């Protein structure tokens, strides 16, 4: 069978393209199997399961809802189904396969100890509607994790229910809005620096604020003078990412926070990059009023498709009274009480409401607390130190073949930032990223942050060994040299992936979401 997929690329039979493996009749490349769609593998007239004959079923109750024809769904045998999904899984890239260099994502190894704890009876099978007295252990985990987060950040309170980063951002801004409304203050402008995360302005707008941009300096940090000059009676606060998206620590954050507070506003810090400073810097000491923490980044719970995420928000003394419900509170007898709406007037009268139906992501809480307890304060300090060390090792090992826009601004934090400046004419960041697939790596974050043209953002995290990072550096050096020399084969990479380079713009604008035969 000669499998041809119009979305991919295949040479004419027998054609040997330089730089690619020998082509085969099946389309397979040794153990890299060509996989058809389920609709191409199966058919509606067969099934891997035996169903009773329909003529023995009483369908009268269905009325007009009864089917008059067979649904157009592919029927496969059990082996066909298992093989299909197993083959697809072999086309995935995962942290368990190799270094995952996505910048600003902190794709670190997930300790199996944490997974084992999360699967313990009483945690894995807990239900949010159980009576409080039957889930004291689960509530105890939430309460203890909350105390750790408050201590590590130097803050006053924490909202545990937000589901992930952007949800946490929204929570923090709703706290700011509630605080302003309580004072009858009509401020409605949020200042967002260029070096902040891209979700920040979107979240501020969604929360009902007007957004104004604050420029960055030539060294990639917030222009402190420009920010302070813009402060006024209409400014509700500033959203700042620290360390920022350029991989740099915002050294003037305390100066900025003092100025914002003096002007009557609040400071929101995007905590997605907390992994770079955990155990070393407490955001509360820098004047931060609210900060979300991505448990699925800093505290090593499954990320992305392995989620769900979790984004608790720590709050300053000024904003803690306005935090959302529910939250846990330890009683004098040692039991844990879950504060819900019916107790709001008594314990939390200024809460702005709820972020979601229940108390948050229990599986993420369990993993995060296991991670924290297994490391301890000293271990967490080593985590951030090793993450910063690895990123700087990548930066200084590549800055002679890749442009490092802020390489002269001092050492970076958790991630190294490069650009495609210096590539041969017609070559870009995209070519290097596609070439990295041929080298066996998932590409780094590309074209972000927007303040750098052709950006390449690499975050090795603390869990990668020197040997593993050296191999990645070697691949990056080779690709950078090819891009600088104008190697035309790089412009058509990847050559060794299941699919050649796709038209990503066309895929985004005219996606094929429904299978149509022929």
pLDDT at residue 225 greater than cutoff 60? yes
Contact 447, 504 (CB under 8 A): no
Query: 72 pLDDT band (50/70/90 cuts)?
Result: confident
The reply to whether 378-509 shares the fold of 112-370 is: no
Cβ atoms of 3 and 26 within 8 Å: the answer is yes
- Please give the pLDDT value at position 306: 54
Identify the burial level of 309 via C-beta atoms within 10 angstroms of its C-beta, where 0-12 means exposed, 13-18 middle and 19 or more buried: buried
Out of 3.90.1150.10, 3.40.50.1820, 3.90.190.20, 3.90.550.10, select the CATH number for domain 378-509: 3.90.1150.10
Q: Please check whether residue 65 is in contact with residue 59, taking contact to mean a CB–CB distance below 8 angstroms.
A: no
Domain boundaries, the chain: 112-370, 378-509
Considering the domain 112-370 in this protein, what is its CATH number? 3.40.640.10
Percentage of the chain exceeding pLDDT 90: 66
Q: Does pLDDT of 15 surpass 70? A: no
Angle at 351 between CA 350 and CA 354, to 5 degrees: 160
C-alpha–C-alpha distance, residues 389 and 470, integer Å: 13
Beta pairing partners, 418: 456
DSSP H helices in 425-494: 429-438, 466-485
pLDDT of 488: 95
pLDDT value at residue 229: 98
DSSP codes of every residue in 65-85: GS-SS-----B--HHHHHHHH
pLDDT of 405 above 60: yes
Alpha carbon of 122 to those of 114, 133, 328, 337, 338: distances in Å?
Answer: 15, 13, 18, 18, 17
SS3 label, residue 190? strand
d(CA 393, CA 467): 12
Report the C-alpha gap between 322 and 179 in whole angstroms.
Answer: 7
For the stretch 162-192, pLDDT in tens is 998 999 999 999 999 999 999 999 999 999 9
Listed ranges 127-136, 244-253, 327-336; the one with the highest mean pLDDT: 244-253
Mean pLDDT over all residues of the chain?
89
The tens digit of pLDDT for each residue in 262-290 reads 999 999 999 999 999 999 999 999 999 99
Say if residue 63's pLDDT is above 90.
no
Residue 453 confidence class, pLDDT cut points 50, 70, 90: very high
CB atoms within 10 A of CB 408: 9
Q: What are 467's two structure tokens?
A: 């040997």
The number of C-alpha atoms within 13 Å of 368 and in the hemisphere containing its C-beta is 31
Task: Name the more confident of 202 and 496.
Answer: 202
Collapsing DSSP states into helix, strand and coil, what is residue 53? Answer: coil
Band of residue 89 on the pLDDT scale cut at 50, 70, 90: confident
By three-state DSSP, how is residue 167 classified?
A: helix
Helices (H) and strands (E) in the chain, counts: 14, 12
119: pLDDT strictly greater than 60 = yes
Q: Is omega for the bond preceding 243 within 30 degrees of 0, making it cis? A: yes
């Amino acid at each position: 069978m000669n499998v041809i997929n119009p979305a991919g690329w295949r040479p004419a039979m027998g054609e040997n393209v330089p730089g690619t493996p020998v082509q085969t009749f099946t389309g397979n490349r040794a153990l890299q199997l060509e996989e058809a769609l389920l609709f191409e593998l199966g058919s509606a007239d067969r099934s891997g399961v035996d169903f009773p004959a329909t003529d023995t079923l009483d369908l009268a109750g269905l009325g007009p809802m009864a089917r008059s024809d067979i649904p157009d769904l592919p029927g496969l045998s059990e082996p066909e189904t298992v093989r299909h999904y197993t083959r697809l899984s072999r086309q995935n890239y995962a942290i368990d396969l190799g270094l995952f260099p996505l910048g600003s994502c902190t794709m670190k190894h997930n300790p199996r100890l944490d997974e084992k704890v999360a699967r313990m009876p009483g945690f894995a099978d807990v239900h949010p509607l159980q009576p409080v007295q039957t889930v004291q252990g689960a509530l105890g985990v939430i309460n203890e994790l909350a105390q750790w987060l408050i201590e590590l950040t130097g803050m006053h309170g924490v909202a545990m229910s937000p589901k992930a980063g952007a949800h946490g951002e929204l929570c923090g801004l709703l706290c700011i809005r509630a605080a302003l409304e309580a004072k009858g203050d009509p401020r409605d402008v949020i200042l967002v620096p260029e070096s902040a995360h891209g979700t920040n302005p979107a979240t501020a707008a969604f929360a009902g604020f007007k957004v104004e941009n604050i420029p960055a300096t030539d060294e990639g940090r917030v222009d402190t003078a420009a920010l302070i000059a813009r402060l006024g009676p209409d400014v509700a606060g500033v959203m700042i990412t620290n360390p920022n998206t350029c991989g740099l620590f915002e050294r003037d954050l305390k100066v900025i926070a003092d100025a914002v507070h003096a002007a009557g506003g609040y400071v929101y810090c995007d905590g997605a990059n907390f992994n770079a400073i955990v155990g070393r810097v407490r955001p509360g000491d820098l004047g931060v009023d609210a900060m979300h923490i991505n448990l699925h980044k800093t505290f090593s719970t499954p990320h992305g498709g392995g989620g769900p995420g979790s984004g608790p928000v720590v709050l300053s003394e000024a904003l803690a009274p306005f935090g959302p419900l529910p939250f846990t509170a330890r009683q004098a007898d040692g039991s844990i009480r879950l504060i819900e709406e019916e107790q709001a007037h008594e314990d939390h009268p200024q809460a702005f409401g709820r972020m979601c139906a229940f108390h948050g992501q229990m599986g993420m809480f369990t993993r995060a607390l296991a991670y924290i307890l297994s490391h301890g304060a000293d271990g967490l300090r080593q985590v951030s130190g090793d993450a910063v060390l690895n990123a700087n090792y990548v930066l200084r090992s590549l800055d002679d073949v890749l442009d490092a826009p802020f390489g002269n601004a001092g050492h970076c934090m958790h991630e190294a930032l490069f650009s495609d400046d210096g590539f041969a004419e017609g070559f870009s960041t995209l070519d290097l990223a596609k070439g990295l697939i041929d080298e066996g790596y998932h590409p780094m974050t590309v074209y972000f942050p927007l303040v750098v043209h052709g950006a390449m953002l690499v975050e090795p995290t603390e869990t990668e060994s020197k040997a593993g990072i050296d191999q990645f550096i070697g691949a990056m050096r080779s690709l950078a040299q090819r891009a600088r020399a104008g190697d035309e084969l790089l412009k058509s990479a990847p050559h060794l992936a299941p699919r050649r380079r796709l038209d990503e713009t066309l895929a985004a604008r005219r996606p094929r979401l429904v299978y149509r035969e022929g």
